[in-house]
């Protein structure tokens, strides 16, 4: 009876192991490689056929130069490109073929520039307009210090004023009413160049006429067309 019990236990253990193997079989097969979907590779032999050319097209036009290849047959009969004017000829005007007369000729104006008389044009105002005031700004655009001998004939400095307007502008300059009477400026009128152009030279003179001391003056440059002004503080020491 002892052997029977041992045989029974062995049989039970064997059945338990078989049952566990059956339960774990689906989980193991889930990680196994499947043969249902297999990717196959195919070699494509490009250019193996006859007539395939690698490295671009070696076709060239008849002239073997750069040029238009879609020019149809609109050239006139007997056209010769070598007999046509060169491209630089038209730079002087197509009508004059590079000659002095670069513009179109109108009846009676063929010799324009030889005996023509220029009438009108822009004229500078030589005088300061009546009623114009020269009021200095609270903060000057620059300052000048000068020394002058009281017993001498006076002293002068050259003031270079850089243009500030976008176009040419007429200017009018003078000292304010509160300035010392020994100061003067020339020229008082003129045309200032546009921004980035040449500077305007003004000559500031101080004539103390024997008077010693420190003189102050405010030079105002009015630009009425631009509705602006340029101001300088002038200080002269007379000894």
Interval 5-63: pLDDT, tens = 444 454 555 565 555 555 655 555 555 555 555 666 666 666 566 666 666 666 666 66
pLDDT digits (tens, 9 = 90+) for 86-117: 766 666 555 554 455 555 555 556 566 666 56
pLDDT category of residue 81 using cuts at 50, 70 and 90: confident
Q: Taking residues 147-157, what's their average pLDDT?
A: 90
Token couple for 95: 């009508």
What pLDDT, on a 0 to 100 scale, did the predictor assign at position 145?
93
pLDDT category of residue 4 using cuts at 50, 70 and 90: very low
Residue 183 has pLDDT above 90, yes or no: yes
Structure-model confidence comparison of residues 29 and 169, the more confident one: 169
pLDDT category of residue 77 using cuts at 50, 70 and 90: confident
Percent of residues, the chain, with pLDDT higher than 70? 52
User: pTM (2 decimals)?
Assistant: 0.49
Residue 83 has pLDDT above 70, yes or no: yes
The region of weakest confidence among 103-117, 152-166, 190-204 is 103-117
């Amino acid at each position: 009876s002892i052997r029977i019990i041992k045989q029974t236990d062995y049989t039970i253990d064997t059945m338990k192991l078989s049952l566990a193997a059956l339960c774990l079989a689906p989980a193991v097969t889930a990680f196994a490689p499947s043969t249902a979907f297999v990717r196959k590779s195919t070699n494509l032999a490009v250019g193996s056929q006859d007539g395939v050319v690698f490295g671009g097209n070696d076709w060239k036009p008849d002239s073997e130069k750069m040029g238009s290849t879609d020019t149809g047959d609109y050239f006139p009969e007997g056209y010769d490109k070598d007999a046509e004017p060169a491209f630089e000829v038209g730079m002087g005007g197509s009508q004059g073929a590079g000659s002095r007369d670069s513009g179109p000729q109108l009846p009676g104006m063929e010799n324009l520039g030889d005996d023509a008389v220029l009438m009108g044009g822009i004229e500078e105002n030589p005088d300061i307009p009546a009623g114009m005031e020269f009021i200095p700004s609270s903060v000057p655009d620059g300052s000048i210090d000068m020394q002058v001998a009281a017993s001498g004939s006076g002293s002068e400095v050259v003031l270079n004023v850089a243009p500030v307007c976008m176009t040419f502008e007429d200017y009018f300059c003078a000292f304010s009413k509160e300035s010392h009477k020994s100061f003067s400026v020339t020229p008082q009128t003129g045309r200032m160049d546009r921004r980035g152009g040449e500077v305007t030279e003004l000559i500031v003179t101080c004539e103390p006429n024997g008077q010693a001391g420190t003189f102050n003056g405010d030079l105002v440059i009015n630009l009425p067309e631009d509705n602006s002004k340029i101001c300088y503080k002038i200080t002269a020491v007379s000894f």
